[in-house]
Structure 1
């Protein structure tokens, strides 16, 4: 995990927005992408996941993703891979994510996959 990302996540822990189980999950997610996709810049996904986890604990909801955006995401060639990756990871999560949270998570995963395909 990048040092700057780790510092941000530690701040979230200090202010009570992230617990140790959640931090461990985020570390696992980061290691998964580093190992399987050689991606070491996963900050957007990790920060989004940390905020999403907190929303789930607080029983808050995220804004609905616009249908047009979701259609663009789900039509991308990497979408099935992104969904498979998330299915591998979500079982380790400290919370169950709503469908709307999952859409945004898939967007971040898709961005990592597409960025790595461009390298």
Structure 2
């Protein structure tokens, strides 16, 4: 069920403290931690503590928590010192877009030039 922790979800296990992560921020509704396979000098994931399979599902079911994820992503960028030169917040939705963990999450990327289009 959406919102409930999923036993087979890596990010739910991180929220529960069952899997270690390099946490950089935590709020009442979110956790932010360094990506284990960084694609930029700064690559932090911001996840809601509740389980939803992707950002669109999270926004539809719990828009306040979706806003919390975005607010925390901005704070991560500020804390990491990447706001001056710009940064990217990315939500991948679906395997075809590169989503590999089906728990809503934002990628905060910065610390180098980020070309457009990505890829």
Band of TM-score, shorter chain: 0.3 to 0.5
The structure whose residues are more often helix, as a share, is 1
Q: Give the TM-score normalised by structure 2.
A: 0.33
Q: Give the TM-score normalised by structure 1.
A: 0.33
